[in-house]
């Protein structure tokens, strides 16, 4: 079974679409929890952006995991997570998130 564990800063896709590619890592570090949990941001889904500015799009099943992690944190911005993804039914699915 294929597994991967990308890690990076949580950014909702609504905001991510506005960021210039060259600024992804800096903007991701500054992305606030307040923004990430807004209704339209939650609905857009999430991605992780690592220190090199690489982007890892998360599947819709990751949203509840990401929200739970955001609700547990004491940080106000720049929440970094590692997600565990596994190949399930021919698709990569998020099965766990954590710091």
Q: Report which secondary-structure segment, H or E, holds 34.
A: helix 33-36
pLDDT-based confidence at 11, cuts 50/70/90? very high
Q: How many whole angstroms separate alpha carbon 69 and alpha carbon 98?
A: 7
- What's the pTM? 0.85
Which residues does 26 contact at the CB level (< 8 Å), separation at least 6?
none
Give the chain's domain count.
1
In the 8-state DSSP scheme, what is residue 93?
Answer: E
Give the pair of three-digit tokens for residue 59: 């599947």
pLDDT in tens, 39-92: 999 999 999 999 999 999 998 988 998 999 999 999 999 999 988 878 778 877
Torsion, Cα of 13, 14, 20, 25 (10° steps): -50
pLDDT-based confidence at 3, cuts 50/70/90? low
Domain, as residue range, for 66: 3-98
């Amino acid at each position: 079974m294929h597994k991967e564990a990308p890690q990076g800063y949580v950014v909702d896709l609504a905001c991510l679409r506005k960021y210039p590619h060259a600024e992804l890592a800096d903007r991701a570090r500054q992305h606030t929890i307040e923004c990430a949990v807004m209704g339209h941001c939650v609905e857009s889904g999430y991605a992780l952006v690592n220190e090199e500015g690489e982007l890892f799009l998360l599947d819709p099943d990751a949203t509840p995991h990401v929200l739970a992690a955001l609700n547990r944190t004491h940080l106000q911005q720049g929440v970094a997570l590692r997600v565990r993804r596994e190949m399930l039914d021919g698709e990569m699915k998020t099965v766990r998130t954590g710091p």
